[in-house]
Structure 1
Amino acid sequence: MIKEIASLMLLSVVLFGGCQTESLGAVHLEQVVSPTKQVTTKPEQETNSKLKLIGSSEDEQVKLYAIKETEDAIESVTLDINGRTKDFDWSISHHSGTKPQLFYTDLTGDGKEEAVIIIQTGRGTGLDNYEIHVVNSDNLSEIKVQRYEDIVAEHIKSRISKNDDGTLAITVISQGQVGNFNYDFDPAPDYHQGKLAFGGVVIYTLDNHKIKLSLPGSIGISPTYVCDFNITYTFDKADNEFIVDQIEVEPVEK
């Protein structure tokens, strides 16, 4: 009888141990497949939805998001071209009054669109300044656009003198072409300015897949604009750069 009881106790221990082992194994399996441990990758659109959208092209292929922002300006941005993104340290003032202009168009003539971003950088009495950025849609590298300062230094010469009747005689030489015209008064008689000044107004636009720049020449500190330089750019494939192509000069009518 004692042997039978001992056998029954031993069998119970074996059965209980087996059930316990199966239970622990089941718990371990549930921990492996628990949804809380799975890794997921968020789509690009969901990531960008957390950023502040500050502009997009008409077809929404190009979008601009703010990364770092202060009370006065956005100090860095994320550019999104068809879902591909890159950060740039472009500054956008909150006081300019004009939102960034975004375009998606072929400016290089290779059949592929580039992203174009035009940003107003300053405005005020007699002042209206913009900058332009052109970005390759394949590798998101920025394509250089020749600065207006370099265009003036290389292609524009001017001379100002006073006529006997108090009017100003202005001579402009651009791309080898000479133009002469009079301005009907001297807005700054004590300033003694010998040539035109530039930089008060710098306005970029796009026209028929071309970059255009309106760059008036001025006299005086105020300033007073006496002639307009309408500049058209062309793409230099060898240097991967937009450079001046044509310059047209028009006197300002009073």
Structure 2
Amino acid sequence: MKLIGSSEDEQVKLYAYKAMEDATERVTLDINGRTKEFDWSISHYSGTEPQLYYTDLTGDGKEEAIIIIQIGRGTGLNIYEIHVVNSDNLSEIKVQRYEDIVAEHIESRVSKNDDGTLAITANSQGQVDNFNYDFDPAPDYHQDELAFGGIIIYTLDNHKIKLSLPGSIGISPTYVCDFNITYTFNKADNEFIVDQIEVKPMELR
């Protein structure tokens, strides 16, 4: 089997179990010599190697294996997925999906100002942010709330999962603000769920 990624300390390794022409459709995860297969798909064209980490995210004093895979890229697209695996029993620990976070915690409004700029309101966990965007990138396109899903970037920061989830307007997406989401571990449900959301307007490029 071909090694396609390992953590810095080499305690977590990822092998291609079933490699097709365009993508690896199944992988074998090795944590300290114990292995399990997962049906994670890894494109051969993403240009970004899988990122593997071995660190304690749940706070129980034991390390988990964390695998971050780029699953989509292109103009206006940059999409990653994250997997967290318990190093004892090799079970995957759920990470709350961005769709559920948006549905449960984020409300947004997009409206047009008289001068052709856009007024954007973002309400996340009861915190309301209002800002104007300097122009309307799609003046004939009616959109009353922000769109999500074109950029989904997971990172690890100080034993926490972070998610950068920009909101966009227009058909060919123009990203106007970034929702920086920090996860926390919910022990009762054995799941990583949203803890904090911070909204930042994007700078015009």
Are residues 1:88 and 2:38 paired? yes
Are residues 1:218 and 2:168 paired? yes
Matching residue's letter, 1:134: V
User: How far 1:190 sits from its partner (Å)?
Assistant: 1.1
Q: 1:245 aligns with which of 164, 170, 195?
A: 195
Matching residue's letter, 1:174: S
Aligned counterparts, 1:12-23, within 5 A: none
Larger radius of gyration: 1
Aligned counterparts, 1:168-207, within 5 A: 168-207=118-157
Alpha-carbon distance in 2 for matches of 1:146, 1:190: 35
Unpaired segments ≥5 residues, structure 1: 1-50
Alpha-carbon distance in 2 for matches of 1:84, 1:59: 16
Alpha-carbon distance in 1 for matches of 2:95, 2:15: 23
Larger helix percent: 1
Matched residue of 1:154: which SS? helix
Aligned to 1:64: 14
Runs of 4+ in 1 over 2 A off after TM superposition: none
Alpha-carbon distance in 1 for matches of 2:129, 2:121: 6
Render the CA deviation track for 1:112-158: whole Å, top value 9, x for unaligned. Answer: 00000000000000100000000000000000000000000000000
Render the CA deviation track for 1:198-250: whole Å, top value 9, x for unaligned. Answer: 00000000000000000000000110000000000000000000000000000
- Computed over aligned residues only, the root mean square deviation of the Cα atoms, in angstroms, reads 0.4
Are residues 1:124 and 2:68 paired? no
Percent pairwise identity: 87
Greater relative CO (CA pairs within 8 A, separation 6+) = 2
Unpaired segments ≥5 residues, structure 2: none
Matched residue of 1:221: which SS? coil
Matched residue of 1:149: which SS? helix
Aligned to 1:152: 102
Across the two proteins, how many residue pairs are aligned to each other? 204
Aligned to 2:25: 75
